[in-house]
Chain A
């Protein structure tokens, strides 16, 4: 399982999103790789799920990877709900 956290530069909000996702996965006892990337490389990246904000989600949708928009990137419940779609 590979999850991509995407933001504009790949180290600000995506890093926070990665931290939240890793926390949720750990609690669930699920092994998965969570990587951060910037928007420009996200569309060609190979992953099972892309987590990002609403702006980027709109632009990344339609590819082969499922994209879910997150409103509060540190909200474990919201991220858990998103992850449950692929777990």
Chain B
């Protein structure tokens, strides 16, 4: 997907957080800093998880926090946060990678989702992503 869809500055690794909410805030703030979303979007991401449950866990250890396009998306894009230590989303559901998603509408982000799918569908890249300790490690995984 190249730098256009995952920018280097939208990646953080070895992030230490106290709980899932803080992890989602870090992930959401990256989207804000990239100019992908309004700051209200971050609250919407957290509210969605509170209301609907931790369903955004898309693979063991990987969450895809996001909200709706109308919750303040400016431009589509993703952010990636790899945690130093995993956090619990729900009893027994530990997450150590968060992929923040900003989607403009139902169809436009297919390319982004395909890229994410490619990474998490293969055991090797999924493992590499979870073990990433630098921005370069993360970029490498998404370069496939």
Beyond A8-B48, A11-B103, A12-B64, is A55–B117 a contact (Cβ under 8 Å)? no
Interface 0/1 of B51-85, CB less than 8 Å to A: 01111111110001011100000000000000000
Please tell me the number of chain A residues within 8 Å of chain B, measured between CB atoms: 22
Q: Judge whether A53 and B68 touch: CB under 8 Å.
A: no
- Residues from 33 to 66 in A contacting B, C-beta threshold 8 Å: 39, 52-53, 55-56
Task: Find chain A residues with CB under 8 A from B103 CB.
Answer: 11-12
Chief secondary structure at chain B's binding surface: mixed
Please tell me the number of chain B residues within 8 Å of chain A, measured between CB atoms: 27
Q: A7: nearest residue on chain B (CB-CB)?
A: B55
Q: Judge whether A8 and B58 touch: CB under 8 Å.
A: no
Asked if A25 is at the interface of the complex by the 8 Å CB criterion, the answer is: no
**Can you name 5 A-B pairs with beta carbons within 8 Å?**
A16-B64, A16-B117, A39-B55, A73-B120, A75-B59
Residues of A within 8 A of B (CB): 7-13, 15-16, 19-20, 39, 52-53, 55-56, 71-76
